[in-house]
Amino acid sequence: MTTPGTSELLARRYATLGEHSPLFYREPLELVSGEGVWLTDAQGRTYLDGYNNVPHVGHANPVVADAVHRQLRTLNLHTRYLNHLVVDYAEALLAAFDDRLDRLFLVNSGSEANELALRVARQHTGSTGVLVSDFSYHGNTTSLAELTTGLTVHEPLGGHVRTLRIPDATGLTETAARDLCVRALGEVDAAIASLQEAGHGVSAALFDPLFSTEGLLTPPDGYIEGLARRVRAAGGLVVADEVQSGFGRLGDAMWGHELFDLSPELVTLGKPMGNGHPVGGVVTTAELLDEFGRRNMYFNTFAGSPVSSAAGLAVLEVMEHERLLPRAHETGAYIASRLHGLAAESPLVASVRGRGLFFGIDLVHDDGAPAAGTARALTEKMREKGVLISKIGRDDNVLKMRPPMVIEQAQAEILVDRLAESLAELA
Q: Which is nearer to ligand PMP, 111 or 128 (CB)?
A: 111
Which residue's CB is nearer to ligand PMP, number 138 or number 327?
Answer: 138
State the minimum distance, in angstroms, from the CB of residue 202 to ligand PMP. 21
List, in sequence order, every residue forming a beta bridge with 132; answer none if it has no partner: 163
Nearest distance from residue 208's CB to ligand PMP, in Å? 4
Alpha-carbon distances of 56 from 20, 275, 402, rounded to whole Å: 27, 6, 10
243 or 283: whose CB is closer to ligand PMP? 243
Q: How far is the CB of 212 from ligand PMP (least distance, A)?
A: 6
Name the minimum Å distance from CB 219 to ligand PMP: 16
Nearest CB to ligand PMP, comparing residues 138 and 162: 138
Q: In what order do the strands lie in the sheet with 266-269?
A: 103-107, 280-284, 266-269, 237-241, 204-207, 130-133, 161-164
Radius of gyration over every alpha carbon of the chain, rounded to an integer in angstroms = 22
Q: What is the largest CA-CA distance in the chain?
A: 63
Q: How far is the CB of 227 from ligand PMP (least distance, A)?
A: 17
Per CB under 6 A, residues contacting ligand PMP are 109-111, 114, 137-140, 208, 212, 241, 243-244, 270
| AA letter at 20 | H
The distance of closest approach from Cβ of residue 113 to ligand PMP in the complex, given in angstroms and rounded to an integer, is 7
Quick count: other Cβ atoms within 10 Å of Cβ 100? 13
Residue 138 or 400 with smaller CB distance to ligand PMP: 138
Write the burial class of residue 157 (CB in 10 Å: 0-12 exposed, 13-18 middle, 19+ buried).
middle
- In 119-265, the DSSP E strands lie at 130-133, 161-164, 204-207, 237-241
CB of 50 to ligand PMP, least distance (A): 17
Question: Would you tell me how many other CB atoms lie within 10 Å of the CB of residue 408?
Answer: 12
Q: How far is the CB of 338 from ligand PMP (least distance, A)?
A: 26
Q: Are strands 358-363 and 387-388 parallel, antiparallel or unpaired?
A: unpaired
CA distance 248 to 324: 8
Is the Cβ of residue 135 or residue 292 nearer to ligand PMP in the bound state? 135
Least spacing, CB of residue 37 vs ligand PMP, in Å: 20
Exposed (0-12), middle (13-18) or buried (19+): which is 26, by Cβ within 10 Å? exposed
Residue type, 347: P
- CA nearest to 292, candidates 59, 120, 89: 120
Among all residues, whose Cβ is closest to ligand PMP?
Answer: 110
The least distance separating ligand PMP from the CB of residue 346, rounded to whole angstroms, comes to 28
- If residue 361 lies in a helix (H) or strand (E), which one and from where to where? strand 358-363
Nearest CA to 213 out of 402, 394, 337, 23 is that of 394
Q: Measured from the CB atom, is 61 or 213 closer to ligand PMP?
A: 213
Nearer to ligand PMP, 47 or 207 (CB): 207
Is 137 or 223 the residue whose CB approaches ligand PMP more closely?
137
Cα(334)–Cα(312) distance, rounded to whole angstroms?
A: 29
Residue number, 109 or 411, with CB nearest to ligand PMP: 109
